[in-house]
Chains A and B, each alone.
Chain A
Amino acid sequence: MHTIEEIMNILSEVKPDLTVAPDEELVRTGVLDSVDIMSVVMALAEEFDLEISPLDLKEENFHTANAILALVNRLDD
């Protein structure tokens, strides 16, 4: 099982000045733009050695840090 801290670390690698709560909306608010989202996806795939399928690349899996954590835990099962 991964932790929310690991996800927060990845988010702050992509956006160094980012401070968000685990349930804060990231996509619709524009906190993460399309380039940031792509960077997060690539960082997750590399650091956790995950296969992220195009079908996993959905707004509901990336809209909060907690959603990202749930996705990572499901894929790393």
Chain B
Amino acid sequence: MKHILALLDRTVRRWGERPAFGDEHGTLTWNQVGQAVQSLGTALAHAGVQRRPVALYLDHEVPCLLAMLGTLAAGGFYTVLDTAQPPERVRRITNQLEPVLLVTDAAHRQAADALDLTCPLLEIDDALTCSPDPFLLQKLREEAIDTDLAYVLFTSGSTGTPKGVAVQHRAVLAYSAWTAGTFAIDETTVFGNQTPFYFSMSVTDLYTALRTGAQVQILPKRLFSFPVQLLDYLTTHEVNTLYWVPSALGGVVRWKALDYTALPPLRTILFAGETMPTPYLNYWRAHYPAALFANLFGPTETTDICAYYIVDREFADDEPLPIGRACDNCGLLVLTEDGREAAPGQVGELCARGSFLAAGYYNMPDKTAERFCPNPLQPHYPEIIYRTGDLVRYDDQGLLQYMGRADNQIKHMGYRIELGEIETAAFGQEGLQSCACLYDAPRDRLVLFYTGKKGLEEALRPRLAARLPAYMQPGAYRRLQAMPQNQNGKIDRAALRALCKED
């Protein structure tokens, strides 16, 4: 198979009458998706997007999924823009991408016009009325090869220019084959999609569904504020598979919402994107003892994931979860600073090789060369590895443990500190709902932000003193009413850093 849409063709033939994509406004079958993609593909092909970037300025709803697939049908590759972002930020992405077409809808037309792009704009409702040209689409398909780009996902990049990770068809094909097989995803699966389409985790929901005939039910973002209603929504739509960021799973834990309503029929609960606090996992597992839980790990540069751990034993509330082992067709190396293989137990940088690797950063040759570089352990032929910048080590069971970001390791009182260890030690404290530890460099102190009971620091102080050395003790505790979140639903560490400065 060379083209992602070969997966769609097969699924339409096999499961055409089954539900495919749903949101608050309705549900489409695979047949309907197939027809819409033909219309959109034809309209986009008329705009001449073959092997060219198309920007999609649409909300987190079904039409955006159709526009993504329509772009692929026209032989182009897409970038989904966040409609909630201020125009200056969107422009930083479009400047980098230089799209040849922007697809939007009537609701966002004005905002899209205000972006002042030089490319034409197309409204999706107009494109959907285009009569399909199967011969044109067939020709474009024949001209495609599996190393053509499918999409460019921009990583948030807390400072400077956002980096566009360019992902090829073959990476998505290899990756979705792995997810479908490993997590037994099939046509009876219903994903409850939390993550936005400009975030790499959504690649798993969409393309695993495309491969297997599973359904993607897009969850309205506002329901994550109302956990009991969120669970009822999952039940109504028969959602049985979640792949969420831990903060989203934590919203349910914080209100013990699983104890207040009927349990949705969940059988698979996957998570990635940030460290999973073990108490969250334990709460969910207590309610779903038979479900499959897995901790997934990886950057956008390996399509979504490069390592995974299927939870196969009990974990204490302050015990970190391993990130496990390499996915199929994704080799992992742990390299020391001088480019040698780390000894068992030694901390090194996680590097990935194999079919899941992105082609590089779009329009950024220097950045690409810095992170996608020759494998120092393979002297016999050129092989590219991706340096994740994540520090890991193998534990005595041979499982990878995450040790933090290489560029985030701080030095405090002369010691190297991994902030995640402090967070893990704090978790398990009765009454603690969430926490995040930051290093306040100007004042050379550690600040532990938390949500939970008032005055909890009286209990946290002795708890951390008993578990961590003196140089890892927070110098300040700050209780927040709510933990700030970024657009992906993860803890917003940049916002916390700004709070450090305010003090």
Contact = CB atoms under 8 A, between A and B. Distances in A.
A10 to B, nearest CB: 11
A58 B223 CA distance: 9
Interface in A34-70: 34-39, 42-43, 46, 53-55, 57-59, 62
A27 interface: yes
Interface stretch (B184-192, B407-415, B460-468, B477-485): B477-485
Contacts of A46: 454
B482 A58 contact: no
A42 B227 contact: no
A55 B260 contact: yes
Contacts of A35: 482-485
A59 B226 contact: yes
A36 B480 CA distance: 12
A34 B481 contact: no
A30 B59 CA distance: 13
A28 interface: yes
B256 A38 contact: no
B229 A34 contact: no
19 contacts: A27-B222, A28-B222, A30-B84, A34-B221, A34-B485, A35-B483, A35-B484, A37-B225, A39-B481, A39-B482, A53-B260, A54-B228, A54-B260, A55-B260, A57-B227, A58-B229, A59-B226, A59-B229, A62-B225
B178 interface: no
B227 A38 contact: no
Given A27-B222, A28-B222, A38-B225, A57 B484 contact: no
Contacts of B251: 34
A43 to B, nearest CB: 6
Contacts of B483: 35
A34 to B, nearest CB: 4
A43 B225 contact: no
A55 B228 contact: yes
A54 B257 CA distance: 6
A46 B221 CA distance: 26
Nearest to A42: B481
B224 interface: yes
B84 to A, nearest CB: 7
Nearest to A56: B228
B255 interface: yes
B227 A54 contact: yes
The prevalent SS among residues of B at the interface is: mixed
Given A30-B84, A34-B221, A57 B485 contact: no
A42 B225 contact: no
Interface of A: 14, 27-28, 30, 33-39, 42-43, 46, 53-55, 57-59, 62
Q: Looking at B222, B223, B256, B451, which has the most chain A CB atoms within 10 Å of its CB?
A: B222
Nearest to B484: A35
Interface in B256-271: 256-257, 260
A39 B471 CA distance: 32
A38 B451 CA distance: 11
A27 B226 CA distance: 11
A57 B482 contact: no
Contacts of A27: 222, 225
B236 to A, nearest CB: 15
Contacts of A14: 481
A72 B484 CA distance: 25
A39 B482 CA distance: 5
Nearest to A63: B222
Nearest to B248: A34
10 interchain residue pairs of minimum CB distance: A38-B482, A42-B481, A54-B255, A37-B225, A39-B481, A34-B225, A39-B482, A35-B482, A54-B260, A54-B228
Contacts of B226: 57-59, 62
Interface string B202-233: 00000000000000000001111111110000
A42 B221 CA distance: 20
B255 A34 contact: no
Contacts of A42: 451, 481-482
A34 B222 CA distance: 7
Interface in B305-332: none
A55 B84 CA distance: 29
Contacts of A37: 225
Interface string B233-256: 000000000000000000100011
Contacts of A36: 482
Contacts of B84: 30
Contacts of B225: 27, 34, 37-38, 57, 59, 62
A37 B485 CA distance: 12
B252 to A, nearest CB: 9
Given A34-B221, A34-B222, A58 B228 contact: yes
Given A34-B225, A54-B227, 12 more contacts: A27-B222, A35-B485, A38-B225, A42-B451, A42-B481, A42-B482, A57-B227, A58-B226, A59-B223, A59-B226, A59-B229, A62-B225
